[in-house]
Each structure stands twice: as C-alpha cells, then as structure tokens.
Amino acid sequence: MATPIHELKTTRPMFDAICNGGKRFEVRKDDRGFQPGDTLKLREYHIIDSRYTGRELEVRVAYVLRAHEIPGKPLEAGYVVMGFE
C-alpha cells in the first residue's frame, strides 16, 4: 500500500525556513490522520494574491506527536506536531 501524500499550503516565511533547514517540524490540525512515513507536499502560497507561487517541496514525516500525548496539554486538542526529514 502506498503512503499518503498530503498537499499543504505553506506561506513564504515558513516555506523559506523549511527550505533552509531551520524548520524541521510542522504544526497542523489533524484532519488527515497524519502518520510517520507520510509525505507532505508543501506548496508555497501567497496570501495577498490568493495564489500558489509554484514553489513546492516534499518531506517525509518521521514522527507525529498528538495533543493528547503531551502532559499539561500545551497543544490544542485535534492538532499534531510532525517532525520531518
């Protein structure tokens, strides 16, 4: 069975930080059941122009941390932190 590919809008500051290797995680609503091994297809999105820029990057999810797994609940229920490579 093929691993899922999730296409996600990503704005410029975050997209650049991921491209530069400074940001190795993503916080998202867990509306897709993200799992380790999934691919995130990050598509740069220009908010003011309401359009994609054409820049894309694919990363593989290495770890998923769900809100209910964190003591003290610092993450809103229904959200995940995904570490990627």
Residue 22 has pLDDT above 90, yes or no: yes
pLDDT at position 24 is 97
Q: Which position has the token pair 């995130």?
A: 40
pLDDT at position 77 is 86
The residue ranges of every structural domain in the chain are 5-84
Domain spanning 5-84 has what CATH number?
2.30.130.30
pTM equals: 0.89
pLDDT by residue (tens digit) across 24-70?
999 999 999 999 999 999 999 999 999 999 999 999 999 999 988 88
